[in-house]
Chain A
Amino acid sequence: MDEILEILEKNGCASAEDIAKMLKKKPQAIKQAIKKYEKEGVILGYKALINKELAKDADSRVRALIEVNITPQKDVGFDKIAERIYSFPEVSSCYLISGTYDLLLIVEGSNLHTVARFVAEKLAPLENVRGTSTHFLLKKYKEDGILLKHREENKRIPISY
């Protein structure tokens, strides 16, 4: 992967000037490369990673992992039915997986009931959905490589040879 992407993946706030210094290139060249990535859709957006358990007034939403068994359709396979499912705003992630189930969804709702209702009223009745299995998420330890706890203090002694 291009080092520009490697840097931005770790720190979306890194400025073109800083990246240029780190990679010994001209800031203009970095800006152009980033623009190109944005245009091509390689870079889809920038956002802060927020630990919602610590954000005081964040609404406490519940999340569920839902395994979905579906019947593929002629010509379009799983894609058409997947689209019908992932288009619901409640679905925050949708993956096609190998194994016992076909789709793995991450669904968010304001409480247990809204998620349960989504499954019962929207998801399960869909034609081609043969079965679902819902797992409510109890605690997040690590997400996308980031530990969800307070940053630990640096344990090094501050000066040494």
Chain B
Amino acid sequence: MQPSGIRAFFDLVLGMKDVISLGVGEPDFVTPWQIREAGIYSLEQGFTSYTSNKGLYKLRLSISRYLKNRYGLEYCPDEEILITVGVSEGFDLVLRSLLNPHDKVLIPTPCYVSYPALTGLAGGIPVCIDTKHDGFKLTPARLEEAAVKNKPKAIILNYPTNPTGISYSKKELEGLKKIILKHKMICISDEIYADLTYDFEHTPFPTLSGAKEKTIYLSGFSKSYAMTGWRVGFACGPKEVIAAMTKIHQYTIMCVSITSQMAACEALVSGKKSVEEMKREYRRRKELVVAGLNDLGLSCHNPQGAFYVFPCLKGIGRKSMEFAQGLLKDQNVAVVPGTAFGESYEDYLRISYASSFENLKEALARIEKFLNK
């Protein structure tokens, strides 16, 4: 396996002081207090043991009820839900459970860095579908073309998307679903950013008619409730797949930390208001950053979700790694070069607006200074 080529740049950032970072893939809020307090209380009460492999029944039941109320999506807490160490573990489990050696997996790119790597680790072959000529959205036509050519076992969807922030409307998803079902693919849908969708209602893939039996739905608490460090995610899907995933999970992980699971239960009880507040704040920052970057000639589409924008450097004639290194050394502002998400994204940057209003304003001013040098 290749070590991530971006590591050296990351190490450079980690070694510097007083950096304004727009390179962070996690919320800048701390976990809301009532959720932290529930974790502390569980420790005081002496909840320090293992839980069942699948996770606390109470948490699975809460997730099941939440999905039913929110989306009308029904998963049985006994057999169709597994609590995982973030979505990352869920991904690893799904791929290891589903793939036979050399099975192909379609991955729209640019994408989160783990997808191709984990596919390879599970013995599969990642097949990337570049979306940069289609506004970073997978289109039915490109999907059809890739499906015919590669006969894939599965496809990985992630929306809202890290690193571009794009998402799909229900109508767009219907278009993709037709082709996924036609070619008998399994859809692995990572919807961790679902609660941070700004322009329309998020549609979980398994809510599309006929899709649920063919979908493994992955989500978690990290982004919506600012709980990245707690490491709690969940996988929902047909019971045969969840059973296979649970087998691997029970030998490698045993169970997710009970403290984190107890805190996650509280998040589902009382976190809704905090989620709404964070979402409104993110949406305002997004508009500020998108307008600011476009004013500077870093052309960028207006994303529908998550907390990333993926501006293009072509207009100013720069390349991502050179730009990111220069900006860091010159102005102490960190961004992630597009090449972190694949070699073909050297004309792009990922900028995270999970940072305070003051930081974003200051960072934009410094980028302007850097460009005028």
Contact = CB atoms under 8 A, between A and B. Distances in A.
Interface in B348-371: 357, 361
Contacts of A18: 288, 357, 361
B357 A158 contact: no
Contacts of A158: 13-14, 16, 19, 21, 23-24, 334
B322 interface: no
Contacts of A21: 287-288, 291-292
A156 B28 contact: yes
A30 B16 CA distance: 39
The interface residues of chain A, by DSSP majority, are classed as loop
Interface in B305-356: 334, 336, 340
A6 B243 CA distance: 47
- Interface size class for chain B? 20 to 34
Contacts of A161: 25, 112-114, 162, 336, 340
Nearest to A21: B291
B334 A159 contact: yes
Given A156-B28, A157-B14, A160-B25, A11 B287 contact: no
A52 B327 CA distance: 38
A22 B23 contact: no
Given A3-B280, A21-B287, A159 B361 contact: no
A23 interface: yes
Contacts of A23: 284, 287
Contacts of B114: 161
A154 to B, nearest CB: 7
B197 to A, nearest CB: 17
A159 B287 contact: no
A156 B24 contact: yes
Given A14-B357, A161-B112, A161-B113, A22 B284 contact: yes
A96 interface: no
A11 B357 contact: yes
Contacts of B291: 21
A89 B23 CA distance: 50
B285 interface: yes
Interface centre among B13, B114, B284, B287 (most CB of A within 10 A): B284
Contacts of A29: none
B30 to A, nearest CB: 8
B50 interface: no
Contacts of A24: 287
A33 interface: no
Contacts of B13: 158-159
Interface string B266-290: 0000000000000010001101100
A7 interface: yes
Contacts of A22: 284-285, 287-288
Interface string A132-161: 000000000000000000000011111111
Contacts of B21: 156, 158-159
Contacts of B28: 154, 156
A154 B25 CA distance: 14
Nearest to B340: A161
B10 interface: yes
Nearest to B357: A11
B26 interface: yes
Given A157-B14, A159-B13, A159-B14, 12 more contacts: A3-B280, A7-B284, A21-B291, A24-B287, A154-B28, A156-B24, A156-B28, A158-B14, A159-B23, A160-B25, A161-B113, A161-B336
Interface of B: 10, 13-14, 16, 19, 21, 23-26, 28, 30, 112-114, 162, 280, 284-285, 287-288, 291-292, 334, 336, 340, 357, 361
7 contacts: A18-B357, A22-B284, A22-B287, A158-B23, A159-B23, A161-B112, A161-B162
Closest 5 CB pairs of A and B: A22-B284, A159-B23, A158-B21, A21-B291, A159-B13
